[in-house]
Structures are given as C-alpha cells and as structure tokens.
Structure 1
C-alpha cells in the first residue's frame, strides 16, 4: 500500500561531477540548494545577488554581469540612513550610495567571471508577479519596505517573461558555449499574492520552464516544485510559517537532485562525505580518552585522503586544533599529577 505519490526525476542528460563549477541564482530555494552543494564540497557561487524572485529581474542582472555593466543608477534608495538598490536583495546594503555602488559593481563583475568559467547555472524562478517602480517605470527585484504607493503590482505576461529569459539564455550561450542550465521553480508559495494568484504565477513559470527545455537541449528542468507539492504533500515538511520547506524537505529534495543530476563518482563521494561530516560533528561523551584521540587521528587520516580530490583545509585545521588541544590538556593533567605526587 502506498501512502504518497513518489516522484523519481528522470536522469538529467548532463551530469554534475565533483569538479563541476556551479553558479546559483534566483529565489531563496536557489540559495538553499547552493548551500547544500557547497556543504558537499562542490565549487559554488551561491546566489550572489541575494534572493531574486521574478525572471525579469534575474535576466536584467545576468545581462549586466555578463556585459560588465554597472548597477542601474536610477534605482538606488535610502531608508533610515541605509542605502539599498531595487535590483538587488536587501542583504546587499551600505552606509553610502558610493559604497553600495562599489559593492554591487564588484558583485556583478564577480558573477560575470564565475559564469564564464561555470559548467552549470542553476536558475530558480520564484514568481511571475512583479512590482514596477512608478517613478522610473522599471520592474524591481525588491521593494526594500518602501511605501506601497511607490509601486504597481501585476502579473507579468508570459510573452514578456519568455522574451526576457530567452535573450538571457542566448547571451549565456554565446559567452560560455559549454554552460548547462538547470531550471527549477521554487516550491515556496507566495501567500501574500493570495493562493489562487500564486497558483497562476507558478503555472506561468512552469510552462515557461517547459518551453525553454524543449527549445534548448542544454537547458534541463529539475522538478523541485513538484516534489514539494505532490510528493511531500504534508505540512510536516514545512516550517512553522507553513510556507517554507523545512530541513527534512530540503534533505529529501537534495537527495532526489543527487540521484538525478550527479554522476557516479560524485554520488559515491556524497555518501563518503556524509560519514566524514558526521564524524566532524561528533563530540565525546566522556571527555578526553585514548579512544577519542584515536578517533580524531583516524578522521585526520580520512581527510588527508580526501584532500587530493576536494579542499578540506578548514576541516583538517579544525581536527588538528582539537588534537593539539586535547593532547595539551592531557599533558597538563599529567604534569599536575606529577606535581601532586611530589608534594605528597
């Protein structure tokens, strides 16, 4: 008897390897998956513009990054002494306009360089609903808690979304012919837009993603949205807000991604690294002991064995620090015991 409809994504035509270079851009789900990839030792530039929901803003930022453009000069905004930019997430801020300009220009250049060298670009589309800044007439990525009367909210037509993304994909292909695109639709529901309108929005994005994969053999789709709303169709897989997937859901979706998108070598490494990470988080129940010292030395040797394949310098330094601290503690305890014996 089955108690849920399990989705098994088809193997993607272009497999991700341990040495693949990846850039993630889009909604908060892109950032979540980017962190998972980073945690598993892949080379990832994770959501460099911060959370960006709508395809039009994503396309604008990609174009600026690839052509060495500067942030849109008309979209800086100051709120309570802090400067933001309407094209970027509020995590990118500064205390002056010039400081923010320099920060955003550097971020665009960094992203452009990363995409030119990348093997994969993960694009996560969050919403087809956009906010237009009335004064400039431009669609923005973030309203930065400015008054609502400054913006016009509406559902973007699929033709406009298609045109914006198609132009961006052509630019990406021209600048990096080896780049593969992995499209996803964010499973996070935008209830502020009302649930009926959210469904319309997600439907537009899903239809658009399908079209782009049909037209371009280097563009693939991973069903993160379907996994969340159909396979994990239960509120126990959501955070307390009942909107965002929780850690258990992220684990499940990432496992499905690994099964569908990772090559055999990377899948084997993921399993091996999971055990190593578990050991890294281990803390002894009974303090210092010869057994725990032996455990740390074995872990250190494991990490040294992996160092030829991935960068584990931070983990090696941490285990080395623990070994030195515990051996020094043991030495100090021995010294104190000898002092006590001499005193007695």
Structure 2
C-alpha cells in the first residue's frame, strides 16, 4: 500500500558540473540548498543581497549587478541605531554607514564578477507579496522591523512578475552567453499572509516561472515546492512553526537536487566530499591511540588524492586537519 504520492523528475540537461560557477538568489530556502552546495565544495555564491522573497526585489538586485552599482551613503537609512539598506537583508546592517557599505559593496563586487561568468543562476522565489514604502512608493526587499504602517502590502500581478523576469533574462543573456537559469519555488508557507493568500501568491509564482521556462531556452525548473507539498505532504516534515521545512525535508530535497541536477561524476565526488566531512566530525575519546593516528593518516591520503584529481576543490583546511597532531585533531570542525 502506498502512503506517499511520488512523481518523476526530469534530469537536468545539461547537468551541473562540479567545476561550474553557481549563483543562488532568493528566499531562505535558497540558503538551505546553497549551504549544502558550499559544504560539498561546489563553487556557489549565495544571496549577495541577503535573503530576498519577492521576484521584483530579486530582479532589481540582478540589475544592480549588471549595472555594476556601487552603493553610497544616500542609499542607506538609520533605524533603531543601525544603518540599513532597503534593498538588502539585515545581515548587512551596521552601526555606521561605512561598515554597512563595506559589506554591501564587497558582496556587490563579488556578485558582479560571478554573474559575468556564471554557468548557473539558481533563483528561488518565495512570495508574490511585496512591501512598498508609503512615503515614496519604493519597493523594499526587507522591512528591517520598521513599523508596519510605513508600508503598503500588495500582491504582485502575474504580468508584473513575468515582465520583471523577462527583462532581466534578456539583459543577462546578452552579457553572459553561456549562463543557464534554474528556477525553484520555496516550499515555505507564509502563514502570516493567510493560507488562501499564500496559495494565491505561490500560484502566481508558479505560473510566471513556467511561462518563462516555456519561453526561453536555458531556463529550467526544479520542483522543490512540489517535493515538500505533494511528496512529503505531512506536518512532521515541518519545523515547530509549521511553515518552514524541517532538516529532514531540506535533506530530502537536497538529495533529489543532487540526483537530478548534478552530473553523475559530480555525484560520486559529492559522496567522497561528504565522507571527508563526516570524518572531520569524528571526536575520538583517546586521540593519542595508534588507531586514531592511522585514521588521520588514511583520511589525509584520501584528501591529497582528491586534491590531485580535482585541483579546483579547496580542501586545504581538511588536509591541515588530518595532518595535524592527534591532540589538535579533536573538535567539531567542518570543511
């Protein structure tokens, strides 16, 4: 008897290669998958603007990279003793405008370079609801806990979303002739919008994305949303807030992503890197024993071999860890 509704996923063609340069943008779910990519040492830059939810803020950020925009003090505002950018997540907020701009423009410069040469841009759309400042009708990427009465909240139309995505795709393809785009829809439920409004928002995003995928070559869709909502389909796969997918759900989506989006050779390398990661988590009770010293030597050899076979892998920290003295090898270190 079946207790889950599974569905086939079409493998990504062309598949992502380990040496590909990746740029991920969008909601917090993009950060979850981006963290997995980085932990497995794929060349992934994640959310240069920080977490962004609505497609207009995401496309505006991409335009800023294509324009080579450098943010200035006049682009910032002060709220509750911190300097913020309406375009950026609060991770860039700081006590001084100079500190905020240093972080913003460093991420901006890296994103400009990445977008020029990226093999893949992975865009995760979270919500079609957007917030607009009442005083000047400016769309904001983050409200920074400013009072709610300072904003209009509105649902973006399908036409607005398609137009925004269409415009940035044309600019991006003109600048980067090889780039591929992979869209996903975040499975996070925005319960604060209400169940009906959340479903309407997701429906707009899904329709817009499929319109784009059907219109352009080199645009693809990965069903992260459907894997959680329709395949797992159970609140035990959500955190206690009942809106964010649990670690088990994120890992399940990651496994499917790796299986269907990454080249088979890359999948084998993923397993080897994961094995090294697990070995670095090992916490011996008696690090001075010959058995543990042999354990370190074996994994040092494995890492050296991986580095020889795949020079693009940055495993220097792992090699240093396994080549260290036993008493220095104790800890909960990651790659």
Query: What is the aligned residue count?
Result: 327
Give the equivalent residue in structure 2 for 1:261: 261
Q: Helix, strand or coil for the counterpart of 2:252?
A: helix
Identify the residue that residue 43 of structure 1 maps to in structure 2. 43
Out of 304, 310, 315, which is 1:312 matched to? 315
Q: What residue is the counterpart of 2:149 in the other structure?
A: 149
Name the counterpart of 1:321. 324
Gaps of 5+ in 1: 327-344
Does the C-alpha gap of structure 1 residues 322 and 52 become closer, same or farther in structure 2, counting only changes over 3 Å? farther
| 252-261 vs 74-83, which moves further | 74-83
Query: After the TM superposition, which residues 80-159 of structure 1 pair with which residues of structure 2 at under 5 Å, given as runs?
Result: 80-159=80-159
Alignment of 1:24 onto 2:24: yes
Where does residue 207 of structure 1 map in the other structure? Answer: 207
Q: How far 1:322 sits from its partner (Å)?
A: 4.2
Matches of 2:69 and 2:18, distance apart in 1: 32
Distance 1:157 1:254 in 2: 30
SS of residue matched to 2:324: helix
Structure 1 residue matching 2:207: 3-state secondary structure = helix
Instruction: Determine the C-alpha separation between the residues in 1 that align with 2:106 and 2:314.
Output: 25
- CA deviation after TM superposition for structure 1 residue 7, in Å: 3.0
Which residue in 1 is equivalent to 2:333? none
Contact residue 122 and residue 182 of structure 2 kept, 8 A: yes
Partner of 2:318, secondary structure, is helix
Contact between 1:124 and 1:185, CA under 8 Å: does it hold in 2? yes
C-alpha separation between the residues in 2 aligned to 1:57 and 1:250?
24
> How large is the RMSD of aligned CA atoms in angstroms?
1.7
Consecutive unaligned residues in structure 2, runs of 5 or more: 330-335
Scaled by the length of structure 2, what TM-score is found?
0.93
Structure 1 residues 294 and 99, CA gap change in structure 2 (3 angstroms):
closer
Instruction: Note closer, same or farther for the CA distance 1:280–1:73 as it changes in structure 2 (3 Å cut).
Output: closer
CA distance in 2, matches of 1:63, 1:325: 47
- The alpha carbon displacement at 1:4 in A equals 0.4
How has the CA–CA distance of structure 1 residues 103 and 283 changed in structure 2, closer, same or farther, with 3 Å as cutoff?
Answer: closer
| 1:303 to partner: Cα distance | 0.6
Aligned 8 A contact 1:123 1:184 in 2: yes
SS at 1:17 equivalent: coil
Larger Cα-atom Rg: 1
1:328-339 pair list within 5 angstroms: none
Higher deviation after alignment, 225-234 or 95-104: 95-104
**1:272 maps onto 2:272 in alignment:** yes
Q: Distance in 2 between matches of 1:234 and 1:254?
A: 18
| Distance 1:322-1:127 versus aligned 2 partners, 3 A rule | farther
* Paired position in structure 1 for 2:218: 218
How far off is 1:143 after superposition?
Answer: 0.7
Tell me if structure 1 keeps the 8 A contact 2:130–2:154.
yes
TM-aligned CA deviation for residue 95 of structure 1: 1.8
